[in-house]
């Protein structure tokens, strides 16, 4: 998989070193998976490091970890857009094309952003885009999703009991609320952000 990703972006150049990065990787629940991935990559002749993304250094057109130049970063961060200051070196190297990052912000925006659900769950929008009937039927199982905005926040509050609310940047079920459990205080926070998607009515509800 990594070699395929590398070839798509670097052609015939040799893939020499990969870094598996996360925030405080040794504290992560899936750290044993990082170790296993490193062992597999080493077995296939690819030097592999495990490190904290905040320890990456970028200069002279090269991204480094512990002074060693990197060709590819296996990104395990949940900062999908690489926005936080601690990930600035990785973000800069990615923007400059100095390192292959997988998955990267473009991958996430294209394939995993919750904003996409607002389009994929809108039959009229899909029809207007020219999707075939067969493809629209395949997407019919995507729960109807809308963004909370200042214009619709009051209406969504009134019908909140039939909804779930999820933050755009969340992961692993964090900060997800059943509408019938949302308090006025929580709703004030949601409405202030005014960019939360609303997937799926409760099972069995109207």
Q: Which CATH architecture has domain 2-111?
A: 3-Layer(aba) Sandwich (3.40)
Q: Is 205 a residue whose pLDDT tops 70?
A: no
C-alpha to C-alpha distance for 56 and 140, rounded to whole angstroms: 43
Question: How many Å from the N-terminal Cα to the C-terminal Cα in the chain?
Answer: 44
> How many Cβ atoms sit within 10 Å of the Cβ of residue 104?
19
C-alpha to C-alpha distance for 100 and 162, rounded to whole angstroms: 43
3-state secondary structure of 75: strand
pTM above 0.85, yes or no: no
Q: Is 168 a residue whose pLDDT tops 70?
A: yes
> What average pLDDT does this structure show over 71-95?
96
Position 191 scores a pLDDT of 82
> What average pLDDT does this structure show over 90-110?
95
Nearest to 66 by CA among 16, 21, 15: 21
3-state secondary structure of 13: coil
Position 98 scores a pLDDT of 97
Position 150 scores a pLDDT of 87
Per-domain boundaries in the chain: 2-111, 116-193
Contact 82, 94 (CB under 8 A): yes
Position 170 scores a pLDDT of 67
**Residue-wise over 151-176: b if at least 16 C-beta within 10 A, else e?**
eebeebbeebeebbbbbebeeeeeee
**Which residue bears the tokens 């002074």?**
67
Position 136 scores a pLDDT of 95
């Amino acid at each position: 998989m990594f070699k395929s990703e590398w070839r798509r972006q670097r052609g015939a150049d040799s893939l020499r070193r990969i870094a598996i990065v996360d925030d405080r990787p040794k504290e992560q629940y899936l750290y044993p998976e990082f170790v296993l991935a490193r062992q597999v990559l080493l077995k296939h002749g690819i030097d592999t490091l495990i490190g904290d993304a905040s320890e990456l250094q970028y200069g002279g057109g090269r991204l480094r970890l512990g002074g060693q130049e990197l060709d590819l970063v296996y990104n395990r961060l949940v900062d999908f857009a690489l926005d936080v200051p601690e990930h600035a070196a990785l973000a800069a190297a990615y923007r400059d094309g100095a390192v292959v990052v997988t998955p990267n912000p473009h991958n996430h925006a294209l394939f995993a952003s919750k904003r996409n659900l607002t389009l994929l769950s809108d039959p009229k929008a899909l029809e207007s885009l020219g999707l075939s009937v067969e493809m629209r039927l395949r997407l019919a199982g995507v729960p109807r999703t809308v963004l909370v905005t200042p214009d619709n926040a009051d209406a969504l509050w009134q019908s909140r009991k039939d909804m779930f609310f999820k933050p755009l940047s969340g992961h692993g079920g964090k900060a997800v609320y059943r509408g019938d459990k949302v308090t006025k205080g929580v709703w004030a926070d949601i409405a202030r952000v005014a960019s939360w998607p609303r997937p799926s009515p409760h099972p069995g509800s109207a």
